[in-house]
Amino acid sequence: MLSVQMIYGLAGVLLFTFALRVALSQVAFLRRVLAINVAGAGLFLVFISAAYKGAGQPADPVPHALVLTGIVVAFSATALAIALARRLHRPSDDD
């Protein structure tokens, strides 16, 4: 009854909600960035497990393309967030 899709999808839901809770409650900035990345991983897990069609046939490629785009965009968003935080916390200089 518990198919492969379901257990991996539920694992993704668990990851996402737990990481969301950590992202909302932690104080240190890098911890929140880490938690957002793990939450993103949980989301991708839900996508790909919905795209899995069994051991015999090839998986649905459209969610694969979406997740591939998502991985790259998540990295660039993380880099931008870290740069923004460093700019905010830099002691003020007149430039």
Partner 1 sequence: MEALIWTVFDFLLITAMLALGWSALSTHSLRRGIALFIAFGLLLSLVWVRLRAPDIALAEAAIGTGLTGALLLAALRDEESAAGAASTEKPKNTIADYLLIAATVILALILGWALIDALMNRQYSGLANEVFTQLDRSGVTNPVTAVLLNFRAYDTFLELAVLLVAVLGIRSLNVSRRPYLKAGLVLSGLTVWLVPVLIVISAYLLWVGAHAPGGAFQSGAVLAAAGVLLRLSGYHGAGLPARIVIRRALMIVGVLVFAIIGLGLMVLGRGFLEYPLAWSGSLILGIETAATLSIAVTLIMAFLAGETGRAGNQEDSSC
* Cα(17)–Cα(46) distance, integer angstroms: 12
Q: Between 28 and 92, whose beta carbon lies closer to partner 1?
A: 28
- Beta-carbon neighbour count of residue 70 at 10 Å? 15
Q: Which of residues 49-68 bind partner 1 (CB under 8 A)?
A: 49-53, 55, 58-65, 67-68
The verdict on 36 binding partner 1 (CB under 8 A) reads no
In angstroms, the CA 77 to CA 80 distance is 5
Tokens representing 11 are 């694992």
| Locus of tokens 């240190």 | 28
Query: Under a CB-based contact definition with an 8 Å cutoff, are residues 53 and 59 in contact?
Result: yes
Q: Is 72 in the site for partner 1 (CB under 8 A)?
A: yes
* Closest CB 17 distance from partner 1, rounded Å: 4
- The count of residues interacting with partner 1 (CB under 8 A) is 73
* Min separation Cβ 54 and partner 1, Å: 9
Per CB under 8 A, 94 contacts partner 1: no
